[in-house]
Every structure is written in C-alpha cells, then in structure tokens.
Structure 1
C-alpha cells in the first residue's frame, strides 16, 4: 500500500494573514511581509468595542436591584477588583489601578476567545507584535508608578538591591535583579501569552486538517484515525477555552504583582 505524502502540516506561516482588500507585500529576512489592515487588527478594534459597549450598557442604569446584565457586569468587575486588584496590590493603592486591570483582562480574554468563535477562529494575540505592545504598556505603567513614588534612583535600588543582603554577593545579585525586574519582565510576560495562543491554535489546526486528510485523501483504512483526530480536535478546543481564560488571568495577575512591587516600600 502506497502512502500519499502531499499533506502540508500547519506552521507559523499560517498566522501571517494577508491584508484585507490589499495585496502589497515586501520581503524581509526571507519572510513575506504584508502592508495594510489585517484580520487581527480588526479583531483588536472589535474586542475593544465589544468590551466598552457591553460594560457601558451593563452599568448604565445601576439599579439597586440589578437586572441580569447589570449583575453579570458587577460580578465581572468584582472579580477583577478583588482577586487581582485588592488582594495583590493592597487595599491602600489598588483602586487607581482597577480600571486598567479590568479593561486589560477582558480585552485579552475576548481576543483569546476569538480563536473558538465560529467565522472568526483566530487568536488575535497569537501575533507576537500585538502581545509585545501590551507588555510594553504594562512595563511603562508599573515602572512609572514606581519612579513616581520612590524617585528614579530609589526605584532602581528597590528593584535591584535585595533587602537584608550586603557584602560582595551584591556584585552578583544586583545585575541579576536588574535584568530580571527591569529588562526581562516584559519579554517573559509577552512570550507566555503569545506562545500559548500560538501553540494551542496550531494544535487545533493540525488535528482538524490532519483528520480531514486522513478521512478524505487517504485510504479507507485510515478513516478511524482521522475520526479520532477530529475527536481530539473537539476535546482540545474545550481545553483551549480554559487556557484562554487562564492566560488572560495570569497576564493581568502578573501586572498586578509588578505594580504591587513597584509601590511597595521594600523589595
């Protein structure tokens, strides 16, 4: 029995979507780059609009006895306010950061969930540039907050010099702490979210297309394997819903922790 070998497995190139209504391209380091508005760009705008409209409508009346929509909005706000604001940053400083954490969480969550919504089915934040933009914004915010409270030199000391440690060992620890707390944080923050969204969706594509190929392109003997691949596709899709929520939660939770460390009096 001869096996066909014309199946093309999915790869990172499948996430490089062409622009909508345009076909201008240019080469860069061996890759084809596109100019114009792409689907992920539109999804960013759509996610921002949906989050704004939903919570605006949910909070517009603010009745003493909330309706269903207001109740959902209040519970969503309380979840971010309490678990990622008050409990992490502390009761003294957390309220001024709640709007940012709240908007960030639901913006990321919705962009993640786009991966499983029919006719969209693309995780916006599987494009690294968009995630690094969010990480850079977070980096600016928590560093600016720390510098405002402690001063530039005081903040660098807070982030680079471990409390209670002195002597020659500081020559090793200070550069490591500086790299870890100032330089590396936005990179790891972005990579965690980007890599999970990319890998999860890549796995879904592999099982979906692989199952289709085994059922319709291979011999009948491979059909059960193709059906199994589709079953795994469905199971992984449900698992991805959990991952999408957890990655949004972890991203915002780490933001709250970084802010908490920036406003703390001791490292």
Structure 2
C-alpha cells in the first residue's frame, strides 16, 4: 500500500506540474525544474558526458525520484515505513539498473565485445587477467546489483528501526512508566525527532547515491575504456 501511495504521489506531482507549466514558472514549477535540472546536469551529464548524459537523463531522473519517494514514506505520518525498507523494492530497482547497463553495453559492443570490454580491461599485462578477470566477473554480474540492494535496504531499514525504537520508548515512558522514569521520555522524544530529520536527509542521500551509481555503471558499460 505504501508503495502504491508513493507511486501515485510521483505521478500526481509531475502530471500537475506539466499541465500547469508556464513560461515564467511559479514556486511549484521552479522546485520541480530544479529537481529535473539537478538529475540531468549534476548526475547524468556530469558522469556520462554531454551526449550520453542527455540520452540517459530521463531514466536516471526517474530512478532518482522513484527512490526518493519510496524512501521518504518512512517519515510520512500514517505511512511510517519506507517502501525500500523491505527487500522487494530494492531488488526491483537494482534489477532495473542491472538489465539497463548490461543491455546498453551489449547494444553498443555486441555480446562478445561487451564481455571483452568489461572483463578484460585494456592496458593490463596478460598474466594479470588470471586474477583480474574473475574479480571483474563478480563485480559486473553479482556485486554491482547486490551492493545496490544491500546499501539501500540496510540504510532505510536501520532508519525505520531507530525511529520505531525511539518513539516506542517515548510512548512507554510517558504513559506507562512511573516516577522519575517519565522524564526520560523527553530525551527519547528529542532523539526520535533528531533521527526523523536525519532520516529525511538519508532518504535524499540514498536516492542521490542510487542515481549516481546508475550513471557510473552505465558509463562503465558504454564508454570505450574505464
């Protein structure tokens, strides 16, 4: 349900923004354009260059906002859990990136060319390939998607658990504890509010990291050398 809410929110915000777009933007349109320009210029073009950056800007932007909205539900009242704090969504997002960079690499170099390009980096003495190529196989086909899943899941799950513990402790200390223990409820409440703000920061940071890594993996797949 939380994931459906986040997906509907993304669609509504951007559909409304597109339909109300004006030559002189208002605050809402300016905020959306800032987000789009950030993804396009600071992530896609910065990592992939002008040509490939423009080509992949739409998918990188989509990934950034999808991860951001699925993350931010963890601090939305009455939702209170990030859509990415359960493993299914991180796996889906990582598989999307995985299929994307593999398919784009194969499309540019062909199957054999892509395997040579990715698993046998140029400029390396041939005997070194005995050690290097197995590492590259693990990195390209296993470690990249696995680290995307684990990084996103672990960060969002940890934040959810910290918030749950702090506010559960606050509720217990205020309403169940007796005597001087009630005073500690104020401490756990302040700690919970601090973690709430930190969780907003982490939600945005993880969306940025996921988008950056998507751009980096694409760059490693489609450029001549890496």
Question: TM-score scaled to structure 1, two decimals?
Answer: 0.81
Of the two structures, which has the highest relative contact order with CA contacts closer than 8 Å and spacing of 6 or more?
Answer: 2
> Which whole-Å CA distance do the structure 1 matches of 2:140 and 2:79 have between them?
37
What is the alpha-carbon root mean square deviation over aligned residues? 1.4
Q: Secondary structure at the match of 1:239?
A: helix
1:65 counterpart (24, 33, 38): 24
- Once the two structures are TM-superposed, the CA of residue 219 in structure 1 deviates from its matched residue by 3.0
- Once the two structures are TM-superposed, the CA of residue 217 in structure 1 deviates from its matched residue by 2.7
Matching residue of 1:85 = 44
Larger Rg: 1
> Which whole-Å CA distance do the structure 2 matches of 1:161 and 1:225 have between them?
59
2:113 counterpart (140, 150, 154): 154
Q: Deviations over 1:19-40 (max 9, x none)?
A: xxxxxxxxxxxxxxxxxxxxxx
> Which whole-Å CA distance do the structure 1 matches of 2:42 and 2:90 have between them?
23
Structure 1 residue runs without a partner (length 5+):
1-41
Q: Secondary structure at the match of 1:260?
A: helix
Q: Secondary structure at the match of 2:177?
A: coil
Are the equivalent residues in 2 in contact too, given 1:159–1:182 (CA < 8 A)? Answer: no
Are the equivalent residues in 2 in contact too, given 1:59–1:73 (CA < 8 A)? Answer: no
2:204 counterpart (239, 245, 256): 245
Q: How many residues align?
A: 226
Q: Deviations over 1:121-143 (max 9, x none)?
A: 11111010111011001100111
Structure 2 residue runs without a partner (length 5+):
none
Matching residue of 1:95 = 54
> Which whole-Å CA distance do the structure 1 matches of 2:34 and 2:54 have between them?
16
2:103 counterpart (144, 151, 154): 144
Matching residue of 2:192 = 233
> Which whole-Å CA distance do the structure 1 matches of 2:10 and 2:83 have between them?
15
Matching residue of 1:190 = 149
> Which whole-Å CA distance do the structure 2 matches of 1:176 and 1:117 have between them?
41
Task: Answer with 200-209 or 95-104: which moved more.
Answer: 95-104
The structure whose residues are more often helix, as a share, is 2
Matching residue of 1:121 = 80
- Once the two structures are TM-superposed, the CA of residue 66 in structure 1 deviates from its matched residue by 1.8
Task: Answer with 246-255 or 208-217: which moved more.
Answer: 208-217
> Which whole-Å CA distance do the structure 1 matches of 2:61 and 2:157 have between them?
24
> Which whole-Å CA distance do the structure 2 matches of 1:167 and 1:262 have between them?
21
- Once the two structures are TM-superposed, the CA of residue 61 in structure 1 deviates from its matched residue by 4.6
> Which whole-Å CA distance do the structure 2 matches of 1:252 and 1:206 have between them?
30
Matching residue of 1:258 = 217
Structural mapping, 1:153-172, within 5 Å: 153-172=112-131
- Once the two structures are TM-superposed, the CA of residue 163 in structure 1 deviates from its matched residue by 2.5
Matching residue of 1:211 = 170
Runs of 4+ in 1 over 4 A off after TM superposition: none
Q: Secondary structure at the match of 1:151?
A: helix
Q: Deviations over 1:60-105 (max 9, x none)?
A: 2543222222222211110111111110111111222111111111
